[in-house]
């Protein structure tokens, strides 16, 4: 006995009795070969899938770092200006930091991050309320980390600030700290506030701050935040012994311009495009490119102006220095 599958697979087929009587044909005939394998439609589908898969792999290898959809143009380099302010006389000081603040223009300033309040956020033509608030919050975060963190102010920590920057600016940031240069592009003191730790330390960690934040849309894909803040630090000399040293006030005025595209907002990062800094009391003769070298209680400015500027040299920045108004010093 043979099963049906065997019979169907046979290459020879017996004619029926009726066929043999009518046509006088042989008893058997050869059957056409059975179709095996995939149909034409299935084969075409497999080929299309293979082509699509190969194209995807090629594009992934050819363009592994494509910019995300909706991201803006590359961030432009930071332009910075740092202006030392020289005192007109001896720097006043006392061991009572509260008295110093009370007798200075910073008497009504708030303490720390409280002095950087966020304004009411209003939607723009192309950005929602939440996106504007996010831009203001990132800018505030950068200001706090770059001007209020003790480990940044008197140490060598830069990571808290670096992680907030757009990746396009990281090379410029790293070069600034690897090779500080007074060229308007690569001064560490343009990115953050930091003092010479061998010279000065914080006498009071309750830093006084006052200023404003403003957000505006510059085009359909960019928000800009302008920050203008004054920071007042109580500093004292680094002492080897336990003797209490007199403290003095040091003031830094910073105007920062931030830009944000939608990718920056999503990743909680910022493009810092302008940094304008005034700081004192400092000596114009001291180099404020890498670190600030404050004049402390009882000290006076060194003789000499800022470093000379060569008008024939290209790529440099003009050396600037100002005079610290007597009214900005505490009355002690």
Residue by residue, what is the 3-state secondary structure of 207-223? EEEEEEEEEEEEECCEE
Q: Which of 67-81, 208-222, 267-281, 304-318 has the lowest mean pLDDT?
A: 304-318
How far apart, in Å, are the Cα atoms of 243 and each of 95, 201, 240? 11, 14, 8
* Strand 110-111 to 79-86 pairing: unpaired
In whole angstroms, give the CA distance from residue 79 to residue 37. Answer: 69
Those residues whose C-beta lies under 8 Å from the C-beta of residue 320, and which sit 6 or more positions away, are 81, 83, 84, 306
Name the β-bridge partners of 249: 234
Give, in order, the Cα–Cα distances in Å from 217 to each of 80, 173, 226: 22, 26, 11
CB crowding 50-69: b at 16 or more within 10 Å, else e: eeeeeeeeeeeeeeeeeeee
Phi and psi angles of residue 218, each rounded to the nearest 5 degrees, phi first: -95, -30
> For residues 304 and 286, what is the distance between their CA atoms, to the nearest angstrom?
9
**Mean pLDDT, to the nearest integer, of 127-131?**
95
**What would the mean pLDDT of 307-321 be, rounded to a whole number?**
71
Strand partners, 84: 279
Confidence at residue 19, expressed as pLDDT on a 0 to 100 scale: 61
Contacts of 277 (CB under 8 A, 6+ apart): 80, 81, 82, 83, 189, 190, 252, 253, 254, 255
pLDDT at residue 304 is higher than 80? no
Percent of the chain with pLDDT over 70: 78
Rounded to whole angstroms, the Cα distance separating 127 from 121 reads: 11
- Mean pLDDT for the chain overall: 86
For the chain, helix (H) and strand (E) counts, in that order, are: 10, 9
Q: What is the pLDDT of residue 156?
A: 86
Sheet containing strand 222-237, strands side by side: 110-111, 200-219, 222-237, 248-260, 271-280, 79-86, 322-323
Which residue do the tokens 């200075």 mark? 104
Q: What is the rounded CA–CA span in Å between residue 260 and residue 240?
A: 46
Residue scoring higher pLDDT (169 or 43) = 169
What's the pLDDT score for residue 67?
A: 43
Give 224-253 pLDDT, tens digit per residue: 999 999 999 999 999 745 567 899 999 999
> Given this model, what pLDDT does residue 23 score?
55
Q: Residue 10 above 70 pLDDT?
A: no
8 Å CB contact between 229 and 116: yes
For residue range 260-291, what is the model confidence (pLDDT) as tens digits?
A: 999 999 999 999 999 999 999 999 989 999 99
In sequence order, which ranges of the chain are alpha helices (DSSP H)?
4-9, 17-23, 40-62, 97-102, 129-147, 150-153, 159-162, 170-178, 188-191, 262-267
Q: What is the pLDDT of residue 106?
A: 96
The token duo for 269 is 């990062």
Selection from 176, 180, 165 nearest residue 260 by Cα: 165
Does 294 or 317 have the greater pLDDT score?
Answer: 294
User: Given a cut of 70, is residue 196 above it in pLDDT?
Assistant: yes
Q: Is 261 within 8 Å of 72 (Cβ atoms)?
A: yes
Phi, psi for 320 (deg, rounded to 5): -125, 150
pLDDT digits (tens, 9 = 90+) for 48-100: 888 887 776 666 544 444 444 445 678 889 999 999 999 999 999 999 999 99
Look at residue 140 in the predicted model and tell me its pLDDT: 98
pLDDT over 90 percentage in the chain:
64
What Rg, from alpha-carbon coordinates, does the chain have? Answer: 37
- The pTM for the full model equals 0.77
């Amino acid at each position: 006995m043979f099963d049906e599958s065997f019979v169907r697979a046979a290459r020879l087929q017996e004619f029926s009795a009726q066929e043999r009587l009518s046509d006088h044909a042989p008893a058997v005939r050869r059957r056409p070969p059975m179709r095996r394998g995939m149909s034409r439609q299935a084969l075409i589908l497999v080929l299309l899938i293979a082509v699509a898969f190969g194209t995807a792999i090629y594009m992934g290898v050819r363009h592994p770092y494509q910019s995300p959809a909706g991201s803006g143009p590359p961030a432009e380099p930071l332009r910075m200006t740092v202006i030392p302010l020289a005192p007109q006389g001896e720097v006043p000081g006392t061991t009572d930091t509260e008295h110093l603040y009370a007798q200075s223009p910073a008497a009504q300033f708030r303490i720390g991050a409280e002095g950087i309040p966020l304004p009411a956020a209003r939607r723009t033509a192309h950005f929602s309320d939440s996106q504007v608030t996010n831009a203001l919050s990132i800018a505030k975060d950068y200001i706090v980390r770059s001007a209020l963190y003790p480990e940044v102010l008197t140490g060598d920590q830069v990571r808290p600030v670096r992680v907030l920057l757009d990746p396009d600016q990281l090379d410029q940031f790293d070069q600034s700290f690897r090779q500080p240069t007074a060229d308007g592009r690569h001064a560490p003191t343009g990115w953050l506030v930091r003092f010479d730790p061998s010279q000065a330390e914080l006498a009071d960690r309750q830093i006084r701050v006052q200023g404003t934040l403003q957000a505006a849309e510059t085009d359909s894909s960019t928000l800009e935040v302008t920050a203008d803040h004054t920071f007042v630090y109580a500093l004292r000399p680094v002492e080897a012994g336990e003797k209490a040293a007199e403290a003095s006030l040091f003031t830094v005025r910073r105007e920062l311009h931030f830009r944000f595209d939608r990718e920056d907002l999503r990743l909680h990062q910022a493009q810092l495009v302008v940094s304008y800094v005034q700081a004192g009391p400092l000596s114009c003769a001291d180099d404020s490119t890498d670190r600030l070298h404050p004049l402390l209680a009882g000290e006076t400015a060194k003789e000499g102006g800022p470093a000379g500027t060569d008008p024939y040299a290209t790529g440099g920045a003009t050396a600037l220095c100002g005079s610290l108004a007597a009214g900005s010093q505490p009355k002690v």
